Structure 1
């Protein structure tokens, strides 16, 4: 019987062999036009009370550091994902941070889920501005850390709610689905999918809107911490953004044989992922980090649990991921229509655009 880590190694290795030759290529519909980059964002469609209930903040005493927002991915419960690693580190360092839970565990319509990100950023920025006015803090912009979809969805918020761009200092993403994944394409070609999975297919309407006209904004720094053994995001360059204010770094470029730093491990428990993240938070260059330092330990320092408990946490995360996917499979057979605030050609006269069918 394979242990979870052994299974992870085999599965990641097989995915690497199968999908290593796939290269991401954009093929968005050129007939669809999108709002100008600086058009004011739409109003909330979700009640403010709901948006507020999904945001939890923890104030630390170290006021020299920026507030950090933690965002989970699809199928993930934010506290279950971050409480045994990053939240422990934040508490020990006395840094202030917030967590935002995505509705429907990030499996519903991502156009709606983005509103939770927008609300969280605005709320946190108001908090930091008040602290600055009181002389408590001198840095008002926040940092964002997101895993998988949690590293992608903030970019949709930046694209269509331009007021929040100046509220964010740095987006640090672990294995984001920035340009989609062939794994979503494969799954949705066989079965009906959760809505969010259809929206993370390569060249989905959602991702084409997200990446329309320009992918980043100069006021924000971007860091993508990636794994060559990522079994979820394939092809690998689907996570990358190739612009001058973006750093794309693979853990295996420093630690070639670190196979356990896969889609989940790269930013959630791996020591090298921790070193890269902390350097990004401190605005230090990731190009000067030595392999000796990055590869010297296995787990990040916040994880002070036994090996058995650690394996249980990882196995539970994998089990929950699979369970929520299975519960929500059979949901839809086509991607939801891109809402009018996110395209300029959604209604022409009385004719509505056609819905995008899965291919």
Structure 2
């Protein structure tokens, strides 16, 4: 049977039914996507988009659509073992590097997107988990807008828009019961709700005192990264104020640049951020930018992807004046097998952050810490999000002063594991399936641009 006529079959399935009771706080919407607003439609339109100007790209998109359309609607993530999943992922990504769209094609061709996972991904545009229009209460007497402190950069986004982008789950305790907020910041082209629902939205399995919220940065963080950072700076003060608590911030991919930019140009944020946990960060950009943006062959891409090259003005600006060093205790976690950011091993790894101002940093390379062991295996840019060592380091940072320290971990036990606590095969498949959403968002983003945005005025004279 062909899958396309059965796209809504599994949309009524909440996250809890796939991931177990721990996922109730991040239950997905039960409404099917509106016509023309689903993953399959966007990818299908890309096949015939002559503006792409690249026959090989159109061919790869056609292959993705064909692979997805051929999925038997009865297939389920419950039918796939973790061992089979790992073997297939190893075979694909050990060959790397890949660009986003080629990687998405490879995982669909390998049968790693069963019907239940595709159905969850397919309705991402309509999911309230990804909404940037949340009804959050106005901050009472917080005085965080237009500035928290005199040294902070000005906001260009309205306070209502900044506040509306914050997703606060119904389980959030607002600083009660001894819990501390953890703010999740997504990567480029990947909406926060969908991305983190397969992994760190359930971080309480490793750190029970973590109270998770996330930021749904508009247009899937494909806009100017300087603009994206405004949402992070505001969310830090807003959540800290609502909770009367310090917070921790966890970023993935571009989300880490957004956090670092916010810490640099809104220095008042540093006083309320206890920890910065950076998953697959590209603090130095990537030397092969078309790994992230395969449309570069036609010199057309999105603003934030242009900004993430190795030698861009944006990267130079964030790194100057010791911006390549930590502002708050920082734990970086990265993998050799990152298919998006290069290099990710050795002394020049893009993930590495310095400590020139005396703030503690640990830079944690999975394959160095767990050499030739399960947790040090083939974990990709997105795979780090379910890696057991990554979670244990994040929990260690969250629960102690300073960054995560491997000396406090039982490495014999952690390195022997394949998944973070509380996660399963569905989470692995869903985490990699987010590449399909990223591909769709890249294709749909308009207008594309041929260069990176200008550096904003406040950063020019910093």
TM category (shorter chain) comes to 0.7 to 0.9
Alignment correspondent of 1:294: 414
Alignment correspondent of 2:52: none
In the TM superposition, what is the alpha-carbon distance from 1:174 to its structure 2 partner?
0.5
Q: 2:361 aligns with which of 234, 237, 246?
A: 246
**Unpaired runs of 5+ in structure 1?**
18-37, 130-139, 346-359
Measured on the aligned residues, the alpha-carbon RMSD in Å equals: 2.8
Q: 1:48 aligns with which of 128, 151, 159?
A: 159
User: Could you say if the C-alpha distance between residues 88 and 182 of structure 1 is closer, same or farther in structure 2, counting changes exceeding 3 Å?
Assistant: same
User: Could you say if the C-alpha distance between residues 97 and 315 of structure 1 is closer, same or farther in structure 2, counting changes exceeding 3 Å?
Assistant: closer
Alignment correspondent of 1:176: 281
User: Could you say if the C-alpha distance between residues 329 and 48 of structure 1 is closer, same or farther in structure 2, counting changes exceeding 3 Å?
Assistant: closer
Residue-by-residue CA offset, 1:298-350 (whole Å, 9 max, x unaligned): 111232x4x3x3454134212112222233387111111112111039xxxxx
Q: SS at the partner of 2:228? A: helix
Distance, in Å, in 1 between the alignment partners of 2:177 and 2:235 is: 19
Residue-by-residue CA offset, 1:120-174 (whole Å, 9 max, x unaligned): 0110121233xxxxxxxxxx32111111111221100111111111121110000
**Unpaired runs of 5+ in structure 2?**
1-66, 68-83, 99-148
TM superposition score normalised by structure 1: 0.78
In the TM superposition, what is the alpha-carbon distance from 1:6 to its structure 2 partner?
5.1
User: Could you say if the C-alpha distance between residues 315 and 141 of structure 1 is closer, same or farther in structure 2, counting changes exceeding 3 Å?
Assistant: closer
Distance, in Å, in 1 between the alignment partners of 2:327 and 2:281 is: 20
Q: 1:190 aligns with which of 297, 305, 312?
A: 297
Distance, in Å, in 2 between the alignment partners of 1:329 and 1:246 is: 38
Alignment correspondent of 1:313: 430
Alignment correspondent of 1:262: 380
Alignment correspondent of 1:149: 254
Q: SS at the partner of 2:314? A: helix
Alignment correspondent of 1:160: 265
Alignment correspondent of 1:206: 314
Structure 1 segment 1-359 matched on structure 2, within 5 A: 5=86, 8-15=89-96, 40-58=151-169, 59-60=172-173, 63-90=177-204, 93=208, 95-129=210-244, 140-184=245-289, 187=293, 190-191=297-298, 192-215=300-323, 220-236=328-344, 237-243=349-355, 245-257=360-372, 258-266=376-384, 268-283=385-400, 285-303=405-423, 305=424, 307=425, 309-310=426-427, 312-328=429-445, 331-344=448-461
Q: SS at the partner of 2:420? A: coil
In the TM superposition, what is the alpha-carbon distance from 1:114 to its structure 2 partner?
0.9
In the TM superposition, what is the alpha-carbon distance from 1:97 to its structure 2 partner?
2.6
Alignment correspondent of 1:33: none
In the TM superposition, what is the alpha-carbon distance from 1:185 to its structure 2 partner?
5.5
Distance, in Å, in 2 between the alignment partners of 1:45 and 1:329 is: 21
Q: SS at the partner of 2:195? A: helix
Which segments of structure 1 move beyond 6 Å, counting only runs of 4 or more?
Answer: none
Residue-by-residue CA offset, 1:206-264 (whole Å, 9 max, x unaligned): 11111110126776101101111111110121111132521101111233344342211
User: Could you say if the C-alpha distance between residues 265 and 341 of structure 1 is closer, same or farther in structure 2, counting changes exceeding 3 Å?
Assistant: same
Q: How many residues align?
A: 310
In the TM superposition, what is the alpha-carbon distance from 1:292 to its structure 2 partner?
1.1
Distance, in Å, in 2 between the alignment partners of 1:332 and 1:175 is: 25
